Structure 1
Amino acid sequence: MDLGLVFLAIFALFYPPLGAKGLPSNGLSYGYYQKTCPQVEKIVRDSMNAFSSANPNTTAAILRLVFHDCQVGGCDGSVLLNIKDPQHQAEMDSPKNFGITNREVIDDIKSKIETACPQRVSCADILVLAARDAVAIAGGPTINVPLGRRDTTVAHSRQEADVGLPRNEVNLTKAIQVFSQEVSITLEETAAILGAHTLGVTHCDGLMERLYQNSTVLPPGSEAEFVKYLKKVCPEGGQGRFTTTLNLDPTPRTFDNKYYVNGLNGHGLIALDAEMARDPRSVNIFKKFASDQDAFFKVFSSAFVKITTLGVLTGDKGVIRKKCSVL
């Protein structure tokens, strides 16, 4: 099962204003459901614990899912929709959503919440809470997230996903441009969000451009040898392009700082992972996170809150869907 590229996603087309220190100024708030559904966070947490115990891959899948939701039209629950209209190619029809799994987890959690608090909690908020809990369950930080998102009333199209979801081979210069200028995310926060690659796997298909179309000449050493190894595992034109998977870091079910250690050792799997581990602009951040996991957790938490407030619908915009997979 593909848990895919957990991160390469945050280049959304819609960016809301952010308040001081990255706190949302767009209608979200902490403790939003305190009066209307005070048990919502416990229901999500208990459900995620159960799903993760049954299938440890759930944590990476849900973390990837929230990033893919937020990058196409904003964090509005659109990625959860099942659209079966032959006249409409939906968001999930995009090849860039290849390997997206576990969407039914959110529908299951939603049904439990509907029993306790009918028509109170949005699918978009449930997905953010589930992703937050996925990080904690896998050993990462417990993140306090603002709530109050509402769900989209329009199914986003394949074309929107094709445009909104970036190519696998985004480079550092482009990442810095998008994050710093358009999303108010610092270079340190960019490096921290990339640390989401501490969970899950990717298919060989996600490495083809790096391995066979990248003009970067690597000096002799561990990274060059690692690329040779990857080419053996993922040969150009090989039959396993969409079936062979590789761990994103040595501990793919644990949210830790091994991703940074791995990158500094020349074993960054995705092109941007490898580039940031050697680029003078970011290598010291990688070294900091590799030696100080708490520092990584702190910065990741800040960036997670910023990203999951992108393009949200609040107030009288959007709806509260009864079932997350149905408009």
Structure 2
Amino acid sequence: MGSSSKRCLGAILVASFYFSTSLAFFPAHHEGESAHPVEHGPKPGLSPHFYRSTCPQADEIVVSVLKKAIAKEPRIAASLLRLLFHDCFVQGCDASVLLDDSKAVASEKNALPNKKSIRGFEVIDEIKAALEEACPHTVSCADTIALAARGSTVLSGGPYWELPLGRRDSKTAYMKLANKNLPPPNATLHRLVKFFGRQGLDKTDLVALSGSHTIGMARCVSFKQRLYNQHRDNKPDMTLEKRFYHKLASICPRTGGDNNISPLDFASPPKFDNSYYKLIVEGRGLLNSDQVLWTGKDPEIAHLVKSYAENESLFFEHYVNSIIKMGNTNPLLGSDGEIRMNCRRVNHVR
């Protein structure tokens, strides 16, 4: 793997405790659910040093739990990173994705894009319990997700970034918005650009953040259409490289097997690197939403894919910029929201 100044900085800052081991969304107005304007940039109250005096060991606690969880199941790193995306792209980074069903809450976990797909909640529970023991009623669930996403990235070999903290937790969830905001993995490039744009994220953010798929797995149901009925003509996606097609077909038969899983990045599944982009250029992107970054006939986006495939340091630099930008999406600050004691329920629910 190539080196970069970002990675070196991360290694220095976290060497004492780090050890290496879908996706387009937009907020929309729905009946009964409001959507706030997307905001990015520095936020009053968001700071990498937010817990310096109240819980200085917060990051170390998060990473200590992550190290054990990832050693046990390397795939969980990608699942925790995905939680951040599925939180931030639905009404902002407010931990609404963690809330379970209750009389007052329709959980986002039951939204079609999340059901039987989103995971990692038990690890978040474990992290939150450790944080509560050390620093009661201090670190929000929204920040816990963000810290777990960064730690998972670094522990998988990816870049470190200075993470602005100080988010507070939503008192409700937005299942209807989750259904609307998280499109299927067969999204076209036009839709991806449009959805990211509505979040205040540009084409560079789209391509860089899609690189999260350098780790993790996907179920066959997410890409089976590409193998057998891409254009509803009972034919495969012709952009699939032939040997890759046969490999995928052996994993995912035409009928059944929807819950079989495949690495999003066959070259180095558990390692956060730039091989995702190299595979796309070769016609071996797993999801349609991956491959269209190269085949979607957008010169700017294709140039970014090629640049990241050739220069891992550039990918890491852009990824850090974009994930910080995404993490600044509509956080609850000050007296808004709350600091949940249990990430699965709001504080007044017993």
- What TM-score, normalized by structure 1, do the two folds share? 0.87
1:255 matches 2:272 = yes
RMSD (CA atoms): 2.4
1:76 matches 2:91 = no
Change (3 A) 1:295 1:317: same
2:74 and 2:27 mapped to 1: Cα distance? 28
The answer to whether the 8 A contact 1:16-1:26 is kept is no
Letter paired with 2:281: L
1:113 and 1:230 mapped to 2: Cα distance? 41
Letter paired with 2:80: I
The answer to whether the 8 A contact 2:226-2:237 is kept is no
The answer to whether the 8 A contact 1:24-1:306 is kept is no
Query: What is the aligned partner in structure 2 of residue 313 from structure 1?
Result: 332
The answer to whether the 8 A contact 2:241-2:282 is kept is yes
Q: Deviations over 1:206-250 (max 9, x none)?
A: 1134344533999977635644653454334x12012x1111012
Q: How does 1:78-227 map to 2 (within 5 A)?
A: 78-85=96-103, 89-97=106-114, 98-157=116-175, 159-179=176-196, 181-215=197-231, 223=241, 226-227=244-245
Query: Per-residue deviation at 1:26?
Result: 5.6
1:299 matches 2:318 = yes
Query: What is the aligned partner in structure 2 of residue 265 from structure 1?
Result: 282
Query: What is the aligned partner in structure 2 of residue 16 from structure 1?
Result: 38
Change (3 A) 1:193 1:221: closer
Change (3 A) 1:309 1:230: same
Query: Per-residue deviation at 1:164?
Result: 2.1
1:202 is paired with a residue whose SS is strand
Query: Per-residue deviation at 1:257?
Result: 0.5
Query: Per-residue deviation at 1:275?
Result: 1.3
Q: Deviations over 1:235-293 (max 9, x none)?
A: 34x12012x11110121111001101111111111112111123342222111111111
Q: Matched residues, percent identical? A: 34
1:96 is paired with a residue whose SS is coil
The answer to whether the 8 A contact 2:214-2:276 is kept is yes
Query: What is the aligned partner in structure 2 of residue 325 from structure 1?
Result: 344
Give the gaps of 5 or more residues in structure 2.
1-21, 29-34
1:290 and 1:319 mapped to 2: Cα distance? 42
2:119 and 2:262 mapped to 1: Cα distance? 17
Letter paired with 2:279: N
The answer to whether the 8 A contact 1:44-1:129 is kept is yes
Letter paired with 2:217: V
Q: Deviations over 1:25-59 (max 9, x none)?
A: 36422311112211111111222122212221220
2:130 and 2:138 mapped to 1: Cα distance? 12
2:252 and 2:72 mapped to 1: Cα distance? 30
The answer to whether the 8 A contact 1:122-1:149 is kept is yes
2:218 is paired with a residue whose SS is strand
Task: Say how many residue pairs are matched.
Answer: 312
Query: What is the aligned partner in structure 2 of residue 40 from structure 1?
Result: 58
The answer to whether the 8 A contact 1:10-1:70 is kept is no
1:283 matches 2:302 = yes
Change (3 A) 1:36 1:240: same
1:220 and 1:16 mapped to 2: Cα distance? 37
Query: What is the aligned partner in structure 1 of residue 262 from structure 2?
Result: 246
1:235 matches 2:250 = no
Query: Per-residue deviation at 1:132?
Result: 0.6
2:315 and 2:187 mapped to 1: Cα distance? 22
1:225 and 1:49 mapped to 2: Cα distance? 35
1:318 and 1:219 mapped to 2: Cα distance? 45
The answer to whether the 8 A contact 2:218-2:262 is kept is yes
Query: What is the aligned partner in structure 2 of residue 31 from structure 1?
Result: 49
Letter paired with 2:130: K
The answer to whether the 8 A contact 1:10-1:71 is kept is yes
